[in-house]
Amino acid sequence: MNRWFAVSACDAVPPGHVAYTQLLGQELVLWRSAAGVLNAWENRCPHRGVRLTLGSCVGEELRCQYHAWRFASGSGQCTHIPSHPQQKPASTIRAQVFPLCEDGSFAWVNLTRDALPSPHPAASLDTALRSIFARAPVAAVRQVLLQGYGGHSVGLGDEFTLSVPDQKLQFMLQPVTEAQTIIHARLRGDLNAAERMTIFRHHNALLSVARDQAEAAA
């Protein structure tokens, strides 16, 4: 499916952090290099198949936990094999890299290798709310959100992107598996620093109710 899905708030993966998620059942390792480059790779070492999320970030490389093979940020190219330190690893040894873009507040992944250019322009003033995981399919979550979000009617954008124009709130639903969804949401525009935590708690409470309703219906 050649389209982009939000998979994480940008600041949820700080430099040096190795995060774990799934998109449409595909396991992903999301990791940000020390220099700040975010990567979305298949969660599988090309050597012995161990999950790369068990490994750790070392500067501009991700190191597998099992045999400490290292893979370069950006290309996924294997850069170092400890048992053959003198040899340059073959160019065919590389982690599977998925196209990724960041738009200022969220990271988007496309599981298609020759992906369309990202339709999401940088919008650095947006503020990510706390993402909420639901044990319910995307359709059930969307249904709950369409029925009303804290008393507001919710306009339907494209298949998964919903917006509440008066609140400048955008929802992005990440299909984790057929039965699991992560509700990502962000407020458009600048946020009053003094009200920040109150606003976060307000939406966290509303999204938690939506999650509970979707899980009850699923």
Partner 1 sequence: MITLYDYALSGNCYKVRLLLNILQVPFSARAMDFHPGREHKSDWFLKLNPLGQLPVINDEGLLLREAQAILVYLASRYDASGHWYPRQDAAALGRIGQWLGFAEGLTATAGAARRHDTLFVEVDIGKCRAGAHALLRILDEHLWFAEQAGERWLCTAEWPSIADLACFPYVMLSEEGGISRLPYPAIRRWAERVKRVPGFIPMSGIFPASAA
Give, as ranges, the residues between 126 and 155 that touch partner 1 (CB under 8 A): 130-131, 133
Q: Of 88-96, 114-122, 153-161, 194-202, which part binds partner 1 (CB under 8 A)?
A: 194-202
The amino acid that residue 105 corresponds to is S
Return the number of the residue (129 or 154) whose C-beta is nearest partner 1. Answer: 129
Give, as ranges, the residues between 24 and 53 that touch partner 1 (CB under 8 A): 34
Of the candidates 25, 41, 53, which has an alpha carbon nearest to the alpha carbon of residue 180? 25
- E-assigned strand segments in the chain: 5-9, 18-23, 26-32, 38-42, 56-58, 61-63, 70-72, 78-80, 100-102, 106-109, 127-128, 132-134, 155-156, 161-164, 169-177, 180-187
Rg (CA), the chain: 19
CB of 177 to partner 1, least distance (A): 10
Q: Helices 138-146 and 196-217: crossing angle, nearest 10°?
A: 120
Among 176, 183, 185, 187, binds partner 1 (CB under 8 A): 176
Return the number of the residue (18 or 214) whose C-beta is nearest partner 1. Answer: 18
Please give the torsion angle defined by the CA atoms of residues 210, 38, 88 and 65, in that order, rounded to the nearest 10 degrees.
-40
Among 26, 37, 56, 167, binds partner 1 (CB under 8 A): 56
Among 10, 57, 173, 187, binds partner 1 (CB under 8 A): 57
Site residues (CB under 8 A) for partner 1? 8, 12, 14, 16-22, 34, 54, 56-59, 63, 65, 130-131, 133, 176, 182, 196-197, 200-201, 204
